[in-house]
Amino acid sequence: MSKLSHGLSLNQMQLLAYAIYSTQKDGNTAFRKADFEKKFDLEYKTEHARQDAQKISQLQFSIIDLENDYFEFWNVFNGIKYEHGKFTFRWSTDFIPHILELKEKFITTDLTIASQFNSSFSWTLYDYLQAHYGYWHKPISKEAIMRLFGVENKKTYKENTGRFKKTVLDVAIKEINALTDLEVRYNEEREGRTIIGFDLIWSNGKKVTSATKKQIKEIQSILDIVFEDMFQYININDEDDRQRAIKLIREIENMREFTGEPICITKEKADDLIKKAVWNFREMNRLLEKNNRPVSEKSVKKVKFYNWLEDRS
């Protein structure tokens, strides 16, 4: 969603959210402006509706993975119509499957809470924090956070970090702290006297503890073994088993982003990752044995180690 709603004004985000909401609720692809206004507690002039609808109607949904020679772009809407207070819109057929994905993240949590936000920046930041479930802090460069808020071209903010804080970041944090369960603050990261980034720190009221170095090392060690034995796994003869092994490897590989410094995930999240990694690892070795492939000595040791841990508990 963050990518989809990038650079939209608050009203535009609300309009998009309400379109998704209406579709989700009763499959309706039309809604009355009055209902929309009521939901977000605002007045919406037709001229603004026109501008916002025009912007929304040009939205695109993209998936880009150039490393694998892959990209796709789809329009979100085929069109949007407005007539005497009634919006009618038609989703692009290729986008419809994605609406379902958006539902969980966007509709159930965000709309009730986010409808209270007065600033689009609050919406954006809230979305960003929600997307980083399992993290408890996240360092982000000034450039990146400006891009997140869609203000990377504002001269004032580029040259005057104080203004950026006052009118963008602080506004968003204040609203989130006031209206949601999250508690957000940040530390400034400086290089000399220049602010080069922020370390966003947040919690949902519950006490959170950072993942330990030991936990991260544990994830790292599984990553290393899997990587070393990669060829064993992808050379499995049986097509189905090979595809399954590749999928399991990918899942483990994706954990690499959490192992870097500084440690940003919670203890709880690290526990989940370790469990998941061990499970995948065992499953992969099972596939090797099933296909009469040798399991490396390191892997055998690792599996024994986990068996031993479980026997004790």
Residue ranges binding DNA (CB under 7 A): 11, 32-34, 42-43, 45-48, 84-86, 154-157, 159-163, 167, 193-195
Which run of H or of E encompasses 62? strand 60-65
* Closer by beta carbon to DNA, 85 or else 134: 85
- Which DSSP helix (H) or strand (E) runs through 122? helix 120-131
**Six-digit token pair at 47?**
């001229």
Q: How far apart are CA 231 and CA 288, in angstroms?
A: 11
Q: How far apart are CA 234 and CA 246, in angstroms?
A: 6
Residue (166 or 298) nearer to DNA, CB: 166
Residues 180 and 113 sit within 8 Å (Cβ to Cβ): yes
Q: How far is the CB of 263 from DNA (least distance, A)?
A: 27
In the complex, what is the shortest distance from the CB of residue 12 to DNA, in angstroms, rounded to a whole number? 11
Smallest gap from Cβ 85 to DNA, in A, equals 2
CA distance 12 to 98: 19
Q: Nearer to DNA by C-beta: 33 or 132?
A: 33
Q: How far apart (Å, rounded) are the C-alpha atoms in residues 58 and 211?
A: 42
Which is closer to DNA, CB of 179 or CB of 195? 195
Which CB atom, from 50 or from 213, has the smaller least distance to DNA?
Answer: 50
Q: HSE of 194 in the Cβ direction (CA atoms, 13 Å)?
A: 7
C-alpha separations of 191 from 104, 141, 157, 188, 236 in Å: 40, 12, 18, 10, 50
Shortest distance, CB of residue 111 to DNA, whole angstroms?
A: 19
116 in helix, strand or coil? coil
CB of residue 155 to DNA, shortest distance in Å = 5
Nearest residue (CB) to DNA, 75 versus 167:
167
CB of 158 to DNA, least distance (A): 9
